Amino acid sequence: MTVALINASPKVKGSSSGILLNDLKECLGNKVDVEEICLRTSKITAEIIEKLKKADTWVVAFPLYVDSLPSHLLACLKQLEKMTWKKPNLNIYGIANCGFYEGNQAEPALNVLKNWCAKAGCAYKGSLGIGGGGAIAVSGNMSGKNSLRANIYKAMKKFADRIVKKEGEANKYATVAFPRFIYKIAAQNSWRKMIKANGGKTKDLNKRLDVELTDTSVNKRIVYEQ
Amino acid sequence: MKLIVTDIEDFDFKIEGEHKVINPQGNIKHCIGCFGCWAKTPGECVIHDGYERTSLDMGLCDEMIIVSECYYGTVSPFVKAAQDRAISYVQGDFIIKNGEMHHKHRYPNTIKLSAHFYGEDITEDEKKTAKDIIEGNAENFHGEFNGVYFYKSKDELKGLKL
C-alpha cells in the first residue's frame, strides 16, 4: 500500500502542514510506502502526477485560509478532478490546520475536500482538523509525542491506524496541548516581535490604510469606478 | 461603497451606486503565507501585482458581493486568491467572540457579505458548504451575512442587479 502525503502549504519551508505530515509519517512507520509531495503552486506537474499515480491513498494537508482552502490548492484540485488515471476507489484523507485555537473551525474547508471527492469519484475517508497552527509552526524541532503537539500526536496515531486499515470515520479535531488564553498571548507577543524585527513599531500592527488617504500622493493611487 | 469581487473577466452587470469591481486583470499571485501583511507592511500584501490593497477596499466598503464559479462549495481560485491576499482586513491579534477565536478588527466598518455562485452541477452538499463558508467569512470579518445565491450557468446571472 502506498500513501501520498501531500503538503499543500504554499510555504517553501517551516509549514505547519509539513510538521503534521512528518508526525503522520512517523505514526505510519513501515506499515506503508510513502510518497512525499509538495503542492505549492497552481499547477500539477508531470513529476507530481507520476508520484500520485503510485498511491492508493492520498492525505492532503493544508492551512486554513479564510475559512477554506488556499487558492492554489483549489486550482490543483480542479485539474486533478478530471484526470482519469486516478485509481478506482482512491482513498482521500485530509489534514487542515487553523491559526485559530479550535480545530473544528476547519470543518467547512474539510467539506470542500469531501465535495471534491464526490465530483472526482474518490472515497472521502474523513480528516483531522487541527487548531493552534501558529504554535505548531514553531514546534518543528520538537518531537510530536511530548511537545505542545502531544494531543495532536495522539489523534494522529489513531488517524494513521485508520489510514493503514483504509477505514473511514467522521472528521476528528484536536488542538495544541496548552490553554487558549496562553495561545492568544503567545500570538500577540509573536506579532510584536515580528514587527520590531521588521523595523516597525507595535502601534503599526493596527495601522489603517484609509487614514493614509488624506495624503494626496496616496489618494492618486486609488481610483474608483463611478 | 459596494465592493464586487468576481472571477468574470468581462463583468458588465448593473451595479447601483458607488462601487469598485475586482476581477481578473492579468495574473493574480497567490498568498504565500508569509504574514507580511500583518507584521511587515500592516494592511498591505507584500506581493505587488495590483491586488495588494484589496484589504483597504474591504475597509472602505459597506457591502461586499462575491460573484464566483462554485468550486466544490467554495469560491474559484481567482476570488480565493483575492480573499487570501486581503487577510489584513483584520489584524493578526486574536479576540474571543461567541466562544470562538477570531482575528481582531482593523477597520471600523461593518461589511454586509453576500455571494452569487454559478456552475452547471452545484450539488446540495456544495450549496450547504458554500453557505457555511460565506457565513464564516462574515463572522471573521465582523460583518453581516447577506445571503448566498446559486445559478446554473454564467448566462443565468445576466440581468442580475447588484
Chain B residues with CB-CB distance to A191 below 8 A:
38-39, 91-93
pLDDT band at A220 (very low <50, low <70, confident <90, very high): very low
Place A218 in a pLDDT band, splitting at 50, 70 and 90.
very low
**Could you give the CA distance from residue A52 to residue A114 in angstroms, rounded to a whole number?**
18
Q: Which of B112, B2, B4 is nearest to B60 (CA)?
A: B2
Query: Is the pLDDT assigned to residue A215 strictly greater than 70?
Result: no
Inter-chain touch A68–B75, beta carbons under 8 Å = yes
Amino acid present at B76:
S
- A-B Cβ pairs (cutoff 8 Å, strict): 170
Q: Are B133 and A112 inside 8 Å of each other by CB?
A: yes
Map out the domains of chain A with their CATH numbers.
2-178 (3.40.50.360), 181-219 (no CATH)
A42-65: burial string, b at 16+ Cβ within 10 Å, e else: bebeeebeeebeebbbbbbbbbbb
Confidence at residue B53, expressed as pLDDT on a 0 to 100 scale: 96
Residues of B in contact with A225 (CB under 8 A): 19-21
Q: Which of B49, B88, B83, B41 is nearest to B66 (CA)?
A: B83
Q: Which of B20, B84, B96 sits opposite A70 (nearest CB)?
A: B84
Residue A92 near residue A162 (C-beta atoms within 8 A): no
Q: Give the percent of chain B with pLDDT over 90.
A: 92
Q: Is the CB of A191 less than 8 angstroms away from the CB of B93?
A: yes
**Residue matched to cell numbers 468581462:** B10
Residue B45 has pLDDT above 80, yes or no: yes
| Residue of chain B whose alpha carbon sits nearest to that of A116 | B72
Residues B118-148: tens digit of each pLDDT: 999 999 999 999 999 999 999 999 999 999 9
Encode pLDDT of A100-114 as tens digits.
999 999 999 999 999
Above pLDDT 70, what percent of chain A? 94
Question: Which band of pLDDT confidence, cut at 50, 70 and 90, is reported for residue A15?
Answer: very high
Q: What angle do CA A48, B35, A44 make, to 5 degrees?
A: 15
Identify the burial level of A148 via C-beta atoms within 10 angstroms of its C-beta, where 0-12 means exposed, 13-18 middle and 19 or more buried. buried
pLDDT of residue A83: 86
| Mean pLDDT computed over B46-75 | 97
Are B69 and B129 within 8 A, CB to CB? no
Query: DSSP letters along A113-165, please?
Result: HHHHHHHHT-EEEEEEEE--HHHHHT-TTS-TTTSTTHHHHHHHHHHHHHHHT
Spell B35-52 as b/e; 16+ CB within 10 A means b: bbbbbbbbbbbebeeebb
Residue of A nearest to B14 (CA): A226
What are the pLDDT digits (tens) for A124-180? Answer: 999 999 999 999 988 888 888 888 999 999 999 999 999 999 999 999 999 999 999
The SS3 assignment for A93 reads strand
The pLDDT of residue A214 is 58
Rounded Cα gap, residues A164 and A30, in angstroms:
10
> Chain A residue with minimal CA distance to B124?
A115
**Domain spans of chain B, in order of start:** 2-24+33-155
Nearest by Cα to A190 from B107, B84, B38: B38
Confidence at residue B11, expressed as pLDDT on a 0 to 100 scale: 84
Mutate to test the interface with A, among B55, B71, B123 (most CBs of A within 10 A): B71
- Looking at beta carbons, which residues of chain A come within 8 Å of B75? 68
Query: Is the distance from CB of A111 to CB of B73 less than 8 angstroms?
Result: yes
Check pLDDT > 90 for residue B3. yes
Nearest neighbour of B93 by CB, restricted to A63, A180, A187 = A187
What percentage of chain A has pLDDT greater than the value 90? 83
The pLDDT score that the predictor gives to residue A146 is 80
Q: Are B74 and A101 an interchain contact pair (Cβ–Cβ within 8 Å)?
A: no
Q: What's the CA dihedral at A12, A17, A19, A20 to 10 degrees?
A: -160
Please provide the average confidence, as pLDDT, over all residues in chain A: 92
The topology under which CATH files domain B2-24+33-155 is Rossmann fold (3.40.50)
Q: Cα–Cα distance between B32 and B85 in angstroms, integer?
A: 9
Which residues does chain B have within 8 Å of residue A67's beta carbon, measured at their own beta carbons?
A: 133, 136-137, 140
8 Å CB contact of A9 and B19:
no
User: What size, in residues, is chain B?
Assistant: 162
Of B33, B93, B94, the CB nearest to A9: B33
| SS3 at position B63 | strand
pLDDT score recorded for residue A219: 44
Residue of B nearest to A111 (CA): B129
How many of the other CB atoms lie within 10 Å of CB of B89? 27
How high is the pLDDT of residue B63?
A: 98
Q: Identify the residue among B38, B72, B126, B133 best suited for mutation to test binding to A, counting A beta carbons within 10 A and taking the highest.
A: B72
Can you tell me the distance from the alpha carbon of B109 to that of B60, in angstroms, rounded to the nearest whole number? Answer: 7
